[in-house]
Amino acid sequence: MSLNNGELSERKKLILKAIIDAHIENGEPVGSRYIMQNAQIAYSSATIRNEMAELEELGYLEQPHTSAGRVPSELGYRFYVDTMLSHYAMTQREIAELNNLMRVKQAEVDTILEQASKLASALTNYTGISVKPKPTAASISRFETVWVDSRSFILVMVTSTGVAKSKFVRLGFDASRETAARLAAALNANLAGLSADQITLPAIMRMEAAMGIDSVLVNPIIKCIYETMSELDDGDVRFEGINRLLQYPEYADIGRFKRLLGALEEKQDILDLVSGARADNVNIYIGSENTVDVMQNSSLIFKTVHRRGHTVGAIGIIGPCRMDYSRVVTMIEHLATQVSSMLDGDESQTNLLNGGEHNAGKG
């Protein structure tokens, strides 16, 4: 029986783990005979049947039809993920694939996240996701100007998360190279570090005062800054390998699969999940723990990615509840850690995969 504090006995844990491992591998209901023959559990068939019946009563197993076999419930998967995940040892090929990602030199965070998502999908055979979350208070930490000619220049804005954005500014009047440089200095002195709602009329008036006879530049520049901050506030979710889900029987119902695609395209629920996620762990949402109704036969696993302490995105996987959690959690943990290290420019971390074990995190 279960213990008084709600924990399962060691025997129940052993049998539950054997059933979940077998169901993940085969996708079929698991019976006591299979457990005896394949799980190397030294209990009689009657004992295993009794324990399976009690695990079903407790909500950890379900019996999909009148056969003797059981499948894990969401509660069973959650208990498995929280207490029984073992370390997954990556193959040399997987390590090589992950390390190859670290050689990418693209400057844009979005590109790196998409490539990491694509790799996660290929290595796990589930659908990969990359998320650019909605920032809580987007701001421009540094401004630079690149003078092009007397009627145009490029305004470069480096965000608080380290992403560089640029706007081509065409003027209806002449401006010198020195004026463009003075504009950058005035922006850094008066607007750097402010969120959109902090760029108020007094701040704009200070900018105009700093620019003096060239204050006519301020209005078009403020417009560029607002446009850029609006883009930063959008957030985005991209998917890699959606069609991989079709090979799993959980997605055989095409109508339900199309509804899932429609829900994923809305993106808002996933953006909200990532925005409120724990930054230190791999986050795991099983079945009905997802806020999207049509994802109730799916699991969402992701980990946030950081640059200099700021969350700049997330990498994850969507697949059936019957998922190889140990393998997926290990992959996502390593990918997110490696990408964060690369974005920080910490070369000492780029070969993290080459040594030591790393325990899978839990959501």
pLDDT of 200: 87
- Average pLDDT value over all residues in the chain: 82
pLDDT of 2: 41
Q: Is the pLDDT of residue 163 over 80?
A: no
Identify any residues that bridge with 315 across adjacent strands, giving them in sequence order: 130, 303
Q: Which has the closest alpha carbon to 362: 80, 44, 165, 65? A: 80
CA–CA separation, 362 vs 360, rounded Å? 7
Distances (CA, A) of 38 to 35, 42, 140: 5, 11, 59
Task: Kindly provide the b/e burial profile for residues 273-303, where b requires at least 16 CB atoms within 10 angstroms of the residue's own CB.
Answer: bbbebeeeebbbbbbebbebebbebbbbbbb
Topology annotation, domain 92-134+235-354: Beta-Lactamase (3.30.450)
pLDDT of 353: 37
Examine domains 10-83 and 92-134+235-354 and report if their fold is the same: no
- pTM across the whole model: 0.68
Domain boundaries, the chain: 10-83, 92-134+235-354, 140-232
Does the domain made of 10-83 have the CATH classification 1.10.10.10? yes
Secondary structure percentages of the chain, helix, strand, coil, to 5: 50, 20, 30
pLDDT of 351: 39
Edge-to-edge order in the sheet of strand 283-286: 236-240, 127-132, 310-320, 298-307, 283-286
pLDDT in tens, 69-108: 899 999 999 999 999 887 777 787 787 777 666 555 444 6
CATH for the stretch 140-232? 3.30.390
Distances (CA, A) of 92 to 38, 62, 79, 96, 360: 28, 37, 30, 6, 18
Per DSSP, the three-state class of 173 is coil
Residue type, 128: G
CA–CA separation, 336 vs 331, rounded Å? 9
Residue 197 confidence class, pLDDT cut points 50, 70, 90? confident
Q: Is the pLDDT of residue 161 over 90?
A: no
